[in-house]
Amino acid sequence: MNKSNEIPIFFAVDNGYIPFLAVTLQSLVDNSSPENNYVIKVLSLNVTEESKEKIYKYERKNVDIEFVDLETYAERLSEKLYVRDYYSKLTYFRIFIPELFPQYKKALYLDCDIVILDDIANLYNIDIGDNLIGGTSDQAVMSVKAFQEYVEKVIGVNDYKEYFNAGVLIMNLEELRKIDLLNKFIYLLDTVKYTVAQDQDYLNRICKGRVTIISGNWDKMPISGEYVDENKLKLIHFNLVSKPWLFDGIAYEDYFWEYAEKTEYIDEIRAMKDNYSYEQKIKDMETGDKLIGLAQKEADCVGDNRIPKNYENIEKSPERIEILRKIERLEEEGRFDVDVENDPPSKVLKPKKVDYLNKKYTSKVKTIVANKIGERFLNDLIKDDKLIIKEVKGMENLQKVKTGAIITCNHFNPYDCFAIEKVFRMSGQEKKKKLYKIIKEGNYTNFPGLYGFFFRNCNTLPLSSNKRTMVKFMQSVDILLKKNEFILVYPEQSMWWNYRKPKPLKHGAFKLAARSNVPVIPIFITMEDSEIIGDDGFPVQEYTINIAKPIYPDPKLNVRENTDMMLNKNFETWKDIYEEFYGIPLEYTTKVNEVAS
């Protein structure tokens, strides 16, 4: 093979992962260029000769494949290489590359749970200067507050956005040899034990300050994070438990199956999915939750107690104190649907003043702009600790709904809609659906400033006191649900700041679901005081977002009966979550005989 335009690419596999290496190589070859020469080194453990022969079939005139057995290296460090869950010792092999291949100054390392949608040479040709690594910001870290705290406090990166994912790397092998990467790694193995992302954590610590962060187009995961135009996707990384060969409904799964169908492993891969038990799926989903908990525990062990010792003496906002007193009075009176905030007075919303379905060009443009600004605003809320999502439970309940649906949620903070937006993006549903939010009339017509801009343009569906507008509203909701969109509704009607109990529910949300024969997805957010004090003198709340199983209409019931049934089940679900999380029975200071008025 001519060595001009040579692109060295490294993978690491054992025999069990050979089918997915085949899928990755199929995508690499399909998107390769005859102008480049691709030198593929497969770092391997216990790969059979039969498997090797199948992989060699991907060789071309300009594609060379070699298996490199690293059993000796693995044995050398076997007692030090910590592994857990879905990891194996293979994950550390990328650290051996600079020492084992001195002939190369630069190379790519790629995981085998990826599909490549562009010429991989374009990734290799990105200039990273004298930095050690080129990689993307890890999107799992970008999406979970516990991971952000962990990488900043435990690993020591300056900003969690600088923490890179090690599954897709441009490696400056020449510079990595200069800093003696392997021996630094061995030294750290003897002095510190990273248990969350293991070799990725070690690489981020060693390479800190000498990393080129590249576009997320080159390492897009099926979770939320940096927005990527699907038409510009270069590489999809089915990271952690987001495996389309194990689970349904994984974002971007169509790309995986497109290339898997071309391999001789397609029947084997489909059999894996068919035989993957419900118990195994639950265990995998629990692994993600445990990983978040592990990261949080590690971060909590680093001294950073941000609640001042004299917290009780900190002056608290008189306005907030008055709101809490008002909430107490309203609960005693049983007036759960009364708002406690001083919102602007409401103007009547006329039909011509709202374009529910974004039919107008100006509406489309405003929505695009508002959503992009809203995404940055959301990321800033999380970065500034104004919105803290500690944990998400039951994500699979959101992911598995293919039809339109009404999402219900308790309402206790102006930012709780951003929490639902974040979870919607994390679920991967944004690939095929939009999330609409039903809002009050006054929020749409009268709210000033940036919030008003969001209320009017971020896929919102305002209610109205005008009957003709409400006819238009109902027609639009029916259309959106038939188009399989999600609609967020606050069925308690009122917002009570930091109120932890579920309040009695109104019928509206459930009638919308019953009319369109779609499920209700109940979400109940539970709260804990964080160590961060807000501008009002109160602790910022840490949210656990509990996504319950969808409640489907019963085909034997009429609309009214289904409305009542789904409302009652929703309330009981919220009640169960509340009582389990807080460990106390749901009781009010006033007697409430019904769950809805």
Question: Element (H or E) spanning 38, and its range?
Answer: strand 37-45
Which CATH fold would you assign to the domain 354-582?
Answer: Glycerol-3-phosphate (1)-acyltransferase (3.40.1130)
Per domain, the residue ranges of the chain are 6-300, 354-582
Region of residue 198 (left: phi > 0; alpha: psi -120 to 50; beta: else)? left
386 CB burial (10 A radius; 0-12, 13-18, 19+): middle
Give pTM, 2 decimals. Answer: 0.52
Residue pair 423/398 in contact by the 8 Å Cβ criterion: yes
Name the one residue in this structure whose structure tokens are 């990384």: 237
Residue pair 42/67 in contact by the 8 Å Cβ criterion: yes
The Cα–Cα gap between 462 and 450 comes to 17
**pLDDT tens across the length of the chain (597 residues):** 556 689 999 999 999 999 999 999 999 999 999 999 999 999 988 899 999 999 999 999 999 999 998 876 656 554 444 433 333 456 678 888 998 899 999 999 999 999 999 999 999 999 999 999 999 999 888 888 888 888 888 888 888 889 999 999 999 999 999 988 888 887 777 666 676 777 788 899 899 889 999 998 999 988 754 445 678 899 999 987 788 998 888 889 999 999 999 999 999 999 999 998 878 877 777 776 777 888 887 777 765 434 455 555 677 888 888 889 999 999 999 999 888 877 666 788 898 888 888 888 888 888 888 788 878 887 777 777 788 888 889 999 999 999 999 999 999 888 788 889 889 988 888 888 999 999 888 877 776 676 677 778 888 898 888 999 999 999 999 999 999 999 999 999 888 999 999 999 999 999 999 999 999 999 999 998 887 888 888 888 889 999 999 999 999 999 999 999 999 999 999 999 999 888 888 889 885 444 443
The Cα–Cα gap between 192 and 412 comes to 42
Region of residue 46 (left: phi > 0; alpha: psi -120 to 50; beta: else)? left
What is the pairing mode between strands 388-393 and 539-547? parallel
Residue pair 508/597 in contact by the 8 Å Cβ criterion: no
Collapsed DSSP state (helix, strand, coil) of residue 174: helix
The CATH homologous superfamily for domain 6-300 is Spore Coat Polysaccharide Biosynthesis Protein SpsA; Chain A (3.90.550.10)
Residue pair 88/15 in contact by the 8 Å Cβ criterion: no
Contacts of residue 551, Cβ cutoff 8 Å, sequence gap at least 6: 519, 520, 521, 522, 566, 569, 570, 573
